[in-house]
Structure 1
Amino acid sequence: MKEMEKAAAGLLYDANYDPEVLAQRDVAKNALFEFNHTPPSQLDKRRSILRSLIGKTGENFLIEAPFHCDYGFNISLGENFYANVNLVILDCTKVTIGNNVFIAPNVHICCAGHPLDAERRNKGLEYAFPVTIEDDVWIGAGAQILPGVTVGRGSVVAAGAIVTKDVPPMTLVGGNPARVIREITEADALKYREA
């Protein structure tokens, strides 16, 4: 079984020394170098670079530079996706992001983790669990989404939150570790007036 197949199966895999894994990461690094150094005015070129890197994108998406990921091909983006600067996605396995998702600056989405025992960790072994972010989610600045988490539809992750377990739909979560602060209700739609 190849190392990325092990990762997809949730097994320990060699993330640091396997030549095929390293080559796949080099492809992503080169594409990201080009993306991160392409002027913002060249939006079509920037989108083209990301479409060649990312497994699936919607028709309408915008990722501000700099952006970093491990592989790219494990990422799936829905329609109307927006990510502000310094998004990091450690996509050692599937990262599925739904429609109308907005991500603030300095957010990390991490599928990867390392064994607690030093012997295995020192061999370069790690594990990867998929992350899912459902439709209509807003993730605040500096939040971290950890391996195996699903962020439910319509929810909001507060700035600085460390999300270690699933987020129920239509809730506001925050803190370290993140916990449900309250439900998002119809009253929230009335809080701000449109011009």
Structure 2
Amino acid sequence: MISFGLIKLIKKHWFRFKLRKASPHDRAELMRNKFYFLGKNVELYTMNFGTEPYLISIHDNAVCASGVRFINHDVSVHRVAYYLGLKRTDIDKVGSIELFENSFVGAYSILMPNCSIGKNSIVAAGSIVTKRIPDGEVWGGIPAKFIMKTEDYARKMVEESKKFT
């Protein structure tokens, strides 16, 4: 007789297998009912959606490159509780993560609780985002800081690409 726990484990591994094999668009569709909100034409090259994917909202035309990590539950505060002599349940840090329209998150970036990426904004690869990134800006670094306006970045990329044509 197969136990309920074993069936649940098999379903979990089957879902992860399907995620791994899916294209970025199909991966987004597989995650549609796991997220709080998922817009149209979303591309997810990553598979790491944290422990509470239901706190993630991704709007139309957003792209997450490979290796992006969604951390919507910061468990390090339990160490703080221990240090202060509190019960582990007395303190917690859980928050939503939202990617607005036409946003892009570069490879291996980390999105922390209560952060958002504004419309037409870009997060550079390897960044750690800890707060709200306004619309139309490029941010990068650890922690992520303002680099330039998306408009200026686009102009710069057009100029640089002329060198190769």
TM normalised by structure 1 equals 0.61
- Compared with structure 1, are the counterparts of its residues 92 and 50 closer, same or farther at alpha carbon in structure 2 (3 Å cutoff)? closer
CA contact (8 A) 2:102 2:121 kept: yes
Instruction: Determine the C-alpha separation between the residues in 2 that align with 1:130 and 1:117.
Output: 22
Q: Matches of residues 38-57 of structure 1 in structure 2 within 5 Å?
A: 38=18, 40=21, 50=30, 54-55=32-33
Instruction: Determine the C-alpha separation between the residues in 1 that align with 2:50 and 2:152.
Output: 32
Alignment of 1:107 with 2:74, yes or no, is: no
Alignment correspondent of 1:117: 81
Instruction: Determine the C-alpha separation between the residues in 2 that align with 1:140 and 1:104.
Output: 5
Instruction: Determine the C-alpha separation between the residues in 2 that align with 1:111 and 1:187.
Output: 29
Instruction: Determine the C-alpha separation between the residues in 1 that align with 2:38 and 2:138.
Output: 22
Instruction: Determine the C-alpha separation between the residues in 1 that align with 2:11 and 2:118.
Output: 31
- Compared with structure 1, are the counterparts of its residues 182 and 117 closer, same or farther at alpha carbon in structure 2 (3 Å cutoff)? same
Q: Matches of residues 79-98 of structure 1 in structure 2 within 5 Å?
A: 79-91=40-52, 94-98=55-59
Query: How high is the sequence identity, in percent, across the aligned residues?
Result: 21
Residue identity matched to 1:84: Y
Superposed CA RMSD: 3.3
Higher alpha-carbon deviation: 80-89 or 98-107: 80-89
Instruction: Determine the C-alpha separation between the residues in 2 that align with 1:95 and 1:83.
Output: 13
Alignment correspondent of 2:16: 36
Alignment correspondent of 1:185: 151
Instruction: Report the structure, 1 or 2, having the larger strand content.
Output: 1
- Compared with structure 1, are the counterparts of its residues 128 and 187 closer, same or farther at alpha carbon in structure 2 (3 Å cutoff)? closer
Instruction: Determine the C-alpha separation between the residues in 2 that align with 1:152 and 1:127.
Output: 22
Q: Tell me the number of residue pairs that the alignment of Structure 1 and Structure 2 aligns.
A: 145
Instruction: Determine the C-alpha separation between the residues in 1 that align with 2:10 and 2:59.
Output: 26
CA offsets per residue over residues 27-59 of structure 1, 9 Å max, x none? Answer: 6x654411332483x87xx76x926xx42xxxx
How much does 1:128 deviate? 1.6
CA contact (8 A) 2:71 2:112 kept: yes
Higher alpha-carbon deviation: 156-165 or 29-38: 29-38
Q: Matches of residues 11-26 of structure 1 in structure 2 within 5 Å?
A: none
- Compared with structure 1, are the counterparts of its residues 110 and 85 closer, same or farther at alpha carbon in structure 2 (3 Å cutoff)? closer
TM normalised by structure 2 equals 0.71
